[in-house]
Amino acid sequence: MTDISAQDQAPEAVEKTRNQWWDVWDQFRSHKGAMAGLIFLTFITLFCAFGPMVWDVDPGKLDIRNKDVRPIYVAIWDGDAKTSWARPMGTDHLGRDIMSNIMQGGRISLAVGWTAMILAILIGTFVGVLSGYFKRLDWGLMRFTDLVLSLPILPLLLVMMLLFRDPLRAAFGPETGIFLLIVAGIGITSWMQTARIVRGDVMALKEREFVLAARSIGTPPRRMITRHILPNVLSPIMVSATLGLATAIITESALSFLGLGFPSDFPTWGKILFDSVDRMTAFPERVLWPGLAISLTVLAVNYIGDGLRDALDPRIRGL
Partner 1 sequence: MLNYTIRRLVLSIPTLLFIALVIFLLLELAPGDPMGQMPLTIPDDVKQRMREALGLGEPWYTRFYLWLYQFFIVEPQYWIDGIFGTNLADGAQRIISFQSRSPVFDTIAERMPQTLWVVGMSYVVGVAIALPIGIISAYKQYSVFDQAGTFVSMIGFSVPPFFSGVLLIVIFSVNLGWLPSIYDTTHEVIDWETLKFQFQQMIMPVMVLALQTTAQVSRYMRASMLDNLGQDYVRTARAKGMTESVVIMRHVLRNSMIPVVTVIALGIPSIFGGAIITEQIFKVNGLGQLLILALQGNDIPMVMTITFLLAVMIVMLNLVADILYGVLDPRIRYD
Partner 2 sequence: MKLKTALMGAVATAALGQMAYADAHEGERGRDGEVKIIYWQAPSILNPFLSGGTKDIEAASLVIEPLARYNETGELTAWLVDEIPTVSNGGVSEDLTSITWKITEGLKWSDGSAFTSADVAFTYEYCTDPESGCAQLTKFDGVSSVETPDDLTVVVNFEGPTPFPYGPFVGGESPILQAAQFADCMGAKAPECTDENFGPIGTGPFVVTDFRTNDVIQMVANENYRDASKPAFASVTFKGGGDATAAGRAVMETGEFDYAWNLQLAPDVIATMQEGGLGTPVAGFGPLVERIMLNNTNPDPSLGDDQRSVVRPHPFLGDPAVYKAMSMAIDRPLLVEVGYGQAGKVTCNWVPAPAAVNSDTFTCDVQDIAGANAMLDEAGYLDTDGDGVREANGVPMQILYQTSTNAVRQDFQALIKEWWSEIGIEAELRNIDASVFFGGDPGSPDTFQKFYADVEMYANTFNGTDPQAYLGNGLCDKAPSPATQWQGENISRFCDPAYDQLHAQLTATADADERAAIARQLNDLMVEQGGMIPLVHRGRLSAHANSLGGVNLNVWDSELWNIADWYRTGDNR
Which residues ranging from 91 to 120 are in contact with partner 1 (CB under 8 A)?
none
Could you count the other beta carbons within 10 Å of the beta carbon of residue 40? 17
Tell me: does residue 312 bind partner 1 (CB under 8 A): no
Measured CA to CA in angstroms, residue 197 lies from 110, 125, 126 at distances of 25, 9, 12
SS3 70: strand
Residue 318 CB-half CA count within 13 A: 3
Of these partners, partner 2, partner 1, none, which one is at the site of residue 196 (CB under 5 to 8 Å by kind)? partner 1
Residues near 196 by beta carbon (within 8 Å), at least 6 away in sequence: 128, 142, 145
Region of 49-57, 131-139, 200-208, 263-271 interacting with partner 2 (CB under 8 A) = 263-271
Judged by CB under 8 A, does residue 264 bind partner 2? yes
Q: Using CB distances below 5 to 8 A depending on partner kind, what does residue 93 bind out of partner 2, partner 1, none?
A: partner 2
173 in contact with partner 2 (CB under 8 A): no
Q: Least distance (Å) from partner 2 to the CB of residue 160? A: 13
| Distance, CA of 319 to CA of 316 (rounded, Å) | 5
* Backbone CA torsion sign across 293, 294, 295, 298: positive
Strand ranges, E, within the chain: none
**207 near partner 1, judged by CB under 8 A:** yes
Contact region with partner 1 (CB under 8 A), list: 46-54, 167-175, 179-187, 192-200: 192-200
Are the CB atoms for 249 and 183 separated by under 8 Å? Answer: no
Binding of partner 2 at residue 279 (CB under 8 A)?
Answer: yes
Please report whether residue 60 would count as binding partner 2 according to CB under 8 A.
yes
Total interface residues for partner 2 by CB under 8 A: 25
Binding of residue 147 to partner 1 (CB under 8 A): yes
Task: Among 12, 263, 295, 316, indicate the residue that binds partner 2 (CB under 8 A).
Answer: 263
